[in-house]
Amino acid sequence: MAKGTPPKGAGSSRPGGKPGPGGKSGPGGKSTRARKPPPVVSRQPRPWGWIAAAVVVALFAAGAIGYAVVQVNQRAEAADPANIEGLVTKEFTNGSHTEGVVDYGGDSPPFGGPHAPPPGWADCNGDVYPIPISSEYAVHSLEHGAVWVTYDPELSQDEIAQLAELVEGQSYVFMSPYPGLSSAVSLQSWGHQLKVEAVDDPRIEQYITALRINPDFT
């Protein structure tokens, strides 16, 4: 046997039973080197609280926007004279200044036509007159966009006070009793008239909103 040549049948172990290079050997000659464990992936929980809060905020914002749109539409409807039930309209071609008494025909109270020249007009800064005023003066104020609220003098003091609350403090509005009125309340602006039978009729406020500073004549 040549020197340095291992005998046949010898294993791969070195003298003394030590394993050769490459680490420990297990049964069948397989390596028993320990394997690295797989990496641990930590999954963070979803922030359900923040998600729920964001949904609530979004729903609140959508509701607020929807409410605002409804309010705008309602105000637009209230400001349109065409939406006032029972409104009478008439076109007046003669708005001249005339001295003396004017015959307004069947318009009682009048809501357009010839009227007193300056300085003959009624103050209309929320003024509440306790006695009847000149129709010629009142119509002159209508020419400049005011609303004239007239009422039957037979109304109770409580009813008159309730009506006055809608007038006082508002520019381009004035109020006075009108003897012989065919309804409890009559509202006039240039070319527009509305007669109602109760001081709490919601159309009174609707009329003032729509026709105060009347766009036909200002």
Encoded amino acid at 127, one letter: D
Residues 6+ apart with CB under 8 A from 86: 194, 195, 196, 203
pLDDT at residue 51 tops 60: yes
Instruction: Note the pLDDT of residue 204.
Output: 97
Average pLDDT, the chain: 81
How many degrees, rounded to 5, is the angle at CA 211 between CA 210 and CA 213?
120
Structure tokens at 39: 């990496």
Name the burial class of residue 126, with classes exposed (0-12), middle (13-18) and buried (19+) by CB atoms within 10 angstroms of its CB. Answer: middle
Do residues 92 and 184 share a domain? yes
pLDDT tens string 138-184 = 999 999 999 999 999 999 999 999 999 999 999 999 999 999 999 99
Nearest one of 187, 168, 179 to 124, comparing CA atoms? 168
pLDDT (tens digit per residue) in 85-95? 999 999 999 99
| Count of domains for the chain | 2
Let me know if residue 90 belongs to a domain: yes
User: Whole domain around residue 107: which residue ranges?
Assistant: 86-211
Predicted TM-score of the model (pTM) = 0.66
Q: Measure the CA–CA gap between 153 and 159, rounded to whole angstroms.
A: 10
Please tell me whether residues 197 and 126 are part of one structural domain: yes
* 60 and 149 share one domain: no
